[in-house]
């Protein structure tokens, strides 16, 4: 039975489904329709659902968003794309309104063991290569099923054994169409000993639109994948995204999620330690004002022994902004010698800002080291007094402390040019930010 809230999406699929990549491929048609049926039965989540208790999707239900299978209504220029660059030599793939824009993209020389393509190309011509990776993760939200039904384009990256891609792969997703829905799908498959850095970057204009993105990462023995997500959606954009990783023996996964834009945004990040000796680092920063609402849900499954995870999220909220953080670490039976640490710290700059934070630990094994904690507060009065006693006026002192609080997450970025560029973006969002951009040595 189709839930009422899903009816517009079902109707949109009947209109656009025949033009999606891979249309006419029997197994892919079945996969899309099965996924749509699951979404149709469940419908758009409400606040009665525990996982959506603090995030209302009423806006998504009120406005009808439609897929645009035939490309963008607006032409984007190279200077506009260059403004989104992160100051580092990179392989850049640009997608406008959900479709690859080769004229705006730049892919330099890649090592022989790296296969890089667009998902639209793979779905149309190489379906056997992607078929094993298109089933959503078991703990994915219902929007993963919606993405599977409508998936149109995105990154496909396969790394052969020992292959290292030195330059980051920068995926730029630009939304321009009013009332449009885009469903990017990215797949990264890293063989033993391989390594790469992926930057997943979302930006948009003033239009009201809906982005529903899904990224799946498979890291084999000893592989190292670094993933950075930068969410800069437009002021009226709705963003729902997920990154799901599966890790094999001694693999390393590093995730950094930075949320600056969007009217409503939800990001789910999960990883599963499917063998011994895995490592994961999940860091995040959200800087909000006005009436923005940003929700992060994370989950780390320590399913095998000798796993190490570190999670550190920070938020800065002003105006009437609201943030949600739900971080869950599960230590399964038999996962001894697990070392897991998790923290979430929030800074409220106004009386109207609000945070709902819920760090969680579930421990079903002995001989583990696990800690978690969360704080929500305002600027420290003693620190403000100290800075003012050294000659700073109150606005400058408040700005300096706020910047230092948020900058701690940015400092964790390994690539210096990316770190400096994100520090500039951060400074522009904070009070008196122009005064706080660090000088380049």
For 140-170, how does the pLDDT look when each residue is reduced to its tens digit (9 = 90+)? 999 999 999 999 999 999 999 999 999 999 9
**Contact between residue 343 and residue 314 where contact means Cβ atoms under 8 Å apart:** no
pLDDT of residue 141: 96
403/271 Cα distance (integer angstroms)? 30
342/99 Cα distance (integer angstroms)? 37
Question: Quick check: 385 pLDDT over 80?
Answer: no
Note the Cα 298 to chain centre separation in Å: 11
pLDDT of residue 437: 43
Confidence of residue 72 (pLDDT cuts 50, 70, 90): low
Question: Quick check: 262 pLDDT over 80?
Answer: yes
Mean model confidence pLDDT for the chain:
92
CA atoms 418, 328, 212, 178: torsion sign? negative
Phi-psi region of 23 (alpha: psi -120 to 50; beta: other; left: phi over 0): beta
424/360 Cα distance (integer angstroms)? 33
86/167 Cα distance (integer angstroms)? 12
pLDDT of residue 128: 86
195/26 Cα distance (integer angstroms)? 34
**DSSP-based three-state secondary structure for 199:** strand
pLDDT of residue 441: 42
Of the listed ranges 178-192, 250-264, 408-422, the least confidently predicted one is: 408-422
pLDDT of residue 21: 94
Question: Quick check: 435 pLDDT over 60?
Answer: no
Structure token digits, residue 389: 């006693």
Question: Quick check: 112 pLDDT over 70?
Answer: yes
Question: Quick check: 438 pLDDT over 60?
Answer: no
**DSSP-based three-state secondary structure for 399:** helix
Residue 244, φ and ψ in degrees, nearest 5: -120, 125
Helical residues (DSSP H) of 85-228, grouped into ranges: 119-125, 127-130, 142-150
Question: Quick check: 247 pLDDT over 60?
Answer: yes
Residue 65, φ and ψ in degrees, nearest 5: -110, 140
Query: Shortest CA distance to 314 belongs to which of 342, 336, 350?
Result: 342
pLDDT of residue 123: 95
Is pLDDT larger for residue 81 or for residue 36? Answer: 36
Phi-psi region of 74 (alpha: psi -120 to 50; beta: other; left: phi over 0): beta
What are the C-alpha distances in Å from 239 to residues 6, 99, 264, 415, 432? 17, 17, 6, 26, 28
**Contact between residue 66 and residue 180 where contact means Cβ atoms under 8 Å apart:** yes
257/283 Cα distance (integer angstroms)? 6
233/345 Cα distance (integer angstroms)? 23
Question: Quick check: 194 pLDDT over 70?
Answer: yes
Q: Residue 199: CA atoms inside 13 Å, Cβ hemisphere, count?
A: 27
**Contact between residue 402 and residue 431 where contact means Cβ atoms under 8 Å apart:** yes
Of the listed ranges 40-49, 69-78, 263-272, 277-286, the least confidently predicted one is: 69-78
Question: Quick check: 208 pLDDT over 70?
Answer: yes
Mean pLDDT confidence for 165-188:
94
Helix (H), strand (E) at residue 383? helix 381-389
Cβ-count burial 404-428 (b if 16+ within 10 Å, e if not): ebbbebbeebebebbbbbbbbbbbe
Of the listed ranges 159-168, 176-185, 291-300, 419-428, the least confidently predicted one is: 419-428
**DSSP-based three-state secondary structure for 129:** helix
Of the listed ranges 76-85, 351-360, 406-415, 427-436, the least confidently predicted one is: 427-436
Helix (H), strand (E) at residue 339? strand 339-348
CA atoms 49, 51, 54, 60: torsion sign? negative
Is pLDDT larger for residue 206 or for residue 189? Answer: 189
Query: Shortest CA distance to 309 belongs to which of 350, 284, 289, 338?
Result: 338
**DSSP-based three-state secondary structure for 400:** helix
Of the listed ranges 80-94, 227-241, 349-363, 367-381, the least confidently predicted one is: 80-94
**Torsion over CA of 299, 422, 414 and 78, rounded to 10 degrees?**
100
């Amino acid at each position: 039975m189709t839930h009422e809230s899903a009816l517009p999406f079902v109707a949109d699929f009947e209109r656009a489904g025949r033009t999606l990549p891979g249309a006419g491929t029997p197994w892919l048609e079945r996969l899309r329709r099965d996924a749509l049926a699951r979404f149709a039965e469940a419908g758009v989540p409400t606040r009665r659902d525990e996982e959506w208790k603090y995030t209302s999707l009423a806006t998504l239900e009120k406005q009808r968003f439609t897929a645009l299978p035939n490309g963008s209504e607006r032409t984007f220029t190279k200077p506009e794309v260059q403004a989104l660059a992160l100051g580092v030599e990179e392989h850049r793939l640009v997608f406008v309104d959900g479709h690859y824009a080769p004229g705006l993209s730049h892919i330099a020389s890649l090592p022989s063991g790296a296969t890089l393509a667009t998902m639209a190309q793979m779905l149309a011509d190489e379906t056997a290569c992607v078929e094993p990776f298109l089933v959503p993760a078991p703990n994915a939200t219902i929007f993963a099923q919606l993405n599977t039904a409508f998936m149109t384009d995105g990154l496909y990256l396969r790394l052969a054994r020992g292959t290292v891609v030195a330059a980051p792969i920068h995926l730029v997703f630009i939304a321009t169409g009013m009332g449009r829905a885009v469903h990017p799908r990215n797949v990264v498959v890293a063989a033993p000993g391989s390594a790469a850095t992926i930057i997943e970057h979302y930006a948009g204009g003033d239009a009201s639109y809906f982005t529903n993105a899904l990224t799946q990462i498979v890291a084999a023995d000893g592989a190292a994948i670094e993933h950075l997500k930068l969410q800069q959606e437009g002021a009226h954009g709705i963003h729902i995204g997920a990154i799901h990783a599966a890790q094999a023996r001694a693999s390393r996964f590093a995730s950094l999620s930075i949320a600056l834009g969007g009217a409503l945004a939800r990001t789910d990040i999960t990883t599963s330690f499917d063998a011994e000796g895995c490592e994961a680092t999940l860091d995040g920063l959200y800087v909000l004002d006005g009436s923005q609402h940003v929700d992060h849900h994370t989950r780390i499954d320590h399913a095998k022994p000798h796993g190490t995870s570190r999670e550190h999220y920070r938020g800065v909220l002003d105006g009437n902004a609201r943030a949600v953080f739900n971080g869950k670490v599960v230590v399964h039976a038999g996962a001894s010698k697990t070392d897991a640490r998790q923290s979430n710290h929030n800074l409220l700059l106004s009386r109207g800002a609000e945070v709902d934070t819920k760090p969680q630990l579930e421990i079903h094994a002995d001989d583990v080291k696990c800690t978690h904690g969360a704080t929500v507060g305002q600027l420290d009065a003693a620190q403000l007094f100290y800075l003012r006693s050294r000659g700073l006026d109150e606005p400058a002192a408040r700005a300096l402390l706020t910047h230092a609080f948020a900058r701690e997450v940015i400092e964790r970025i390994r690539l210096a040019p990316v770190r400096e560029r994100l520090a500039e973006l951060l400074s522009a969002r904070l009070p008196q930010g122009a005064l706080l951009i660090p000088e380049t040595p």
